[in-house]
Chains A and B, each alone.
Chain A
Amino acid sequence: MLDVRHATVAFSAPGGPLVRAVDDISLTIPAGTFVVVIGTNGSGKSTLLGAVAGTVRLDAGSIHVAGHDLTAWRENQRARYVGRVFQDPRAGTAASLSVLENLAVAASRGRPVGLGWATPRRLRAEAAQRLAAIQPGLEKRLDQPIGSMSGGQRQIVALVMATWHRPELLLLDEHTAALDPASADRVVQATAKLVRDQKLTALMVTHSLEQAAGLGDRLLLIHRGKISLDVEGGAKRRLSTADLAGRFDRLRRADQLDDSAARTLRDLYV
């Protein structure tokens, strides 16, 4: 379970105004819930995810995962409870290591490492079984450098890595954005299967309205650092891609209106 309380992250460009990328967001995600987050560019959805992952520091507020206060924890310390998949497959897997060695590093997620053999036969057998279960054929490529695989295959392995030990929270950062449509589709299906099978608590940021409409138990629309739409249950299931596109359009038009109003005011008074 994830509990975000009064989270605020403020940025200021040199000489520019202070912008609250995340503006006093509070959010509770019960265990076993799959939440999809969408938002326009610069809405703060990625900053919110970064704040939970530990790559962005909170200016105010707190982050709790499974009852532990992670607010002051560094990124690598949070790995004890949090599993992550990145947008760029190259960021989430080590290219020069074999598939099996990547999985071996994942098998030690959040645990101290020692001088035990990294890839014992037991690990190889389990790795083959888990990969075969999610995409048959991958288990034959355990000894290949992961850098020689396609982006889609790397993301599937990255998903298996993030969930090797069941994480209290799975963070998915636009993890299909860098893939071609067919690979993206396979990764989405693998994601849905893993979340369902392991009953994971997951937070997925996506740019795809189709994924937002089709996946998850709950949907958040972030706009200007605040949650502007929060639907779950039947309302979430009835939501279509067209509904979401309409929402986006209205937000964008409102923004334009705000901008033109600001321009008019500036012209009049400044």
Chain B
Amino acid sequence: MITLLATWTFGVTLALVALGVFVSYRLFSFPDITTDGSYTLGAVTTTVLLVAGHDPAIATLGGAAAGAAAGACTGLLHAILHIEPLLAGILVTTALSSVNLVVLGRSNVPLAGTATLLDRAEALLLPAMTAAGFGDAAGEAARLIVMLSGVGIAVILLWAFFRTNLGTAMRAGGDTATMARALGRNTGLLTVGGLAIANALTALSGALVAQVQGFADVQMGIGMVVWGMASVFLGAALVGPVRLGGALVATVAGSITFRLIVASALRAGLHPDWLKAATALVVLAALIAPRLLSRRPQASAAR
């Protein structure tokens, strides 16, 4: 029971990465490699702030803000210097691997003995969970409830934001830049904002994961962008074509489903070393499936 709940908690926490990738890749068609670096950046920033004795809420927000700054850097490279999306992300992520190492001081820092956001939430919900009959698993159940409500709030805030004038302009600019420019929008600036939001979500996930697992590691972000894409694709496959709200919920569902699939695969005997390769294969399959299923091969090339 505890292991299953922990799997769910992890999947829910990583849903924030999937939401970030949804914003950058689905709304802006921007394959944003920065995700790998900003996930780690969120984790190390929060960890260092916690170890220094700051309030867990402030430490977590600090991690998210650092991620937003990293995303804005990638956006500026693209918008002002006209560097291709992939290359801009690679440059910022490469620079971030140094930044992360310098911020953390060494490659791995534990959070043992430090009060985290999770501990605080657990203490708040523990009596209720014990009363609900979770027994030994009460602590883990409390963590899951907290993460689920956190992600739920994130989905609602994202949905609301992307229905405002600014958010709608961002979606329009990400969809058809010529249209947005002809209506007076600075599409470069909108992309910078969109990537800041996407990477704030990713870094928030890293910040929370560090607190869930009890340590930050400079390697922990490797492959996160592919992980996020797998979740986004899986979520889209689960629900089919839906509008903004549905797509956001589907992305969260995709993230949790993918985490459960991974956990089952590991239990069935998949060696953990092969995890990232398996993830890449899933994304590859999701990318080519529409082309294989479509009757007209050229249909997938047209946007």
Give chain A's interface residues, CB within 8 Å of chain B: 53, 75-77, 79-80, 84, 86, 90-98, 101-102, 104-106, 108-111, 113-119, 161-162
Asked if A86 and B164 make an inter-chain contact with CB atoms under 8 angstroms apart, the answer reads no
Asked if B175 and A161 make an inter-chain contact with CB atoms under 8 angstroms apart, the answer reads no
Given A94-B179, A97-B168, A101-B171, 16 other A-B residues pairs in contact with their CB atoms under 8 A: A75-B181, A76-B187, A92-B179, A93-B176, A101-B168, A104-B168, A106-B183, A108-B165, A108-B169, A111-B184, A113-B166, A113-B185, A115-B161, A115-B164, A119-B168, A162-B182
Asked if A84 and B182 make an inter-chain contact with CB atoms under 8 angstroms apart, the answer reads yes
Which residues in A have their C-beta under 8 angstroms from that of B243?
A: 98
Q: Which residue of B lies closest to A83 (CB)?
A: B182
Report the Cα distance A120→B185, complex, angstroms: 20
Report the Cα distance A92→B185, complex, angstroms: 13
Q: Which residue of A lies closest to B188 (CB)?
A: A76
Classify chain B: how many residues form its interface, as a range: 20 to 34
Asked if B166 and A115 make an inter-chain contact with CB atoms under 8 angstroms apart, the answer reads yes
Asked if A95 and B183 make an inter-chain contact with CB atoms under 8 angstroms apart, the answer reads no
Which residues in B have their C-beta under 8 angstroms from that of A118?
A: 163-165, 167-168
Question: 1/0 per position for B187-212, CB-CB distance to A under 8 A?
Answer: 10000000000000000000000000
Which residues in A have their C-beta under 8 angstroms from that of B179?
A: 91-94, 102, 105
Find B172's partner among A76, A86, A102 (CB 8 Å cutoff): A102
Report the Cα distance A106→B181, complex, angstroms: 11
Which residues in B have their C-beta under 8 angstroms from that of A76?
A: 180-182, 184-187
Give chain B's interface residues, CB within 8 Å of chain A: 161, 163-169, 171-172, 175-176, 178-187, 243
Q: Which residue of B lies closest to A115 (CB)?
A: B164
Write the nearest CB–CB distance from A68 to chain B, whole angstroms: 14
Report the Cα distance A104→B180, complex, angstroms: 11
Asked if A79 and B165 make an inter-chain contact with CB atoms under 8 angstroms apart, the answer reads no
Asked if A95 and B169 make an inter-chain contact with CB atoms under 8 angstroms apart, the answer reads no
Q: Which residue of B lies closest to A95 (CB)?
A: B175
Report the Cα distance A119→B160, complex, angstroms: 12
- Which among B169, B179, B181 has the greatest number of chain A C-beta atoms within 10 A? B179
Report the Cα distance A75→B187, complex, angstroms: 11
Which residues in B have their C-beta under 8 angstroms from that of A114?
A: 164-166
Find B183's partner among A90, A96, A98, A105 (CB 8 Å cutoff): A105
Find A116's partner among B165, B176, B184 (CB 8 Å cutoff): B165
Given A113-B165, A119-B163, does the pair A94, B184 have CB atoms closer than 8 Å? Answer: no
- Which among B169, B171, B178, B186 has the greatest number of chain A C-beta atoms within 10 A? B178
Report the Cα distance A80→B172, complex, angstroms: 18
Report the Cα distance A116→B187, complex, angstroms: 19
Given A94-B171, A96-B175, A108-B169, does the pair A161, B183 have CB atoms closer than 8 Å? Answer: yes
Which residues in A have their C-beta under 8 angstroms from that of B163?
A: 117-119
Write the nearest CB–CB distance from A207 to chain B, whole angstroms: 20
Write the nearest CB–CB distance from B43 to chain A, whole angstroms: 30
Asked if A79 and B166 make an inter-chain contact with CB atoms under 8 angstroms apart, the answer reads no
Which residues in A have their C-beta under 8 angstroms from that of B169?
A: 105, 108, 113
Ordered by A's residue number, 14 sampled pairs between the chains whose C-beta atoms are within 8 Å are A75-B182, A76-B187, A79-B181, A86-B182, A91-B178, A96-B175, A97-B171, A97-B172, A105-B172, A105-B179, A108-B169, A108-B183, A110-B184, A116-B164
Q: Which residue of A lies closest to B175 (CB)?
A: A94
Write the nearest CB–CB distance from A171 to chain B, whole angstroms: 9
Report the Cα distance A92→B180, complex, angstroms: 8
Report the Cα distance A90→B179, complex, angstroms: 9
Q: Which residue of A lies closest to B178 (CB)?
A: A91
Q: Which residue of B lies closest to A111 (CB)?
A: B184
Which residues in A have their C-beta under 8 angstroms from that of B171?
A: 94, 96-97, 101
Report the Cα distance A84→B180, complex, angstroms: 11
Report the Cα distance A108→B180, complex, angstroms: 10
Asked if A94 and B180 make an inter-chain contact with CB atoms under 8 angstroms apart, the answer reads yes
Which residues in B have their C-beta under 8 angstroms from that of A96?
A: 171, 175
Report the Cα distance A101→B248, complex, angstroms: 18
Asked if B175 and A105 make an inter-chain contact with CB atoms under 8 angstroms apart, the answer reads no
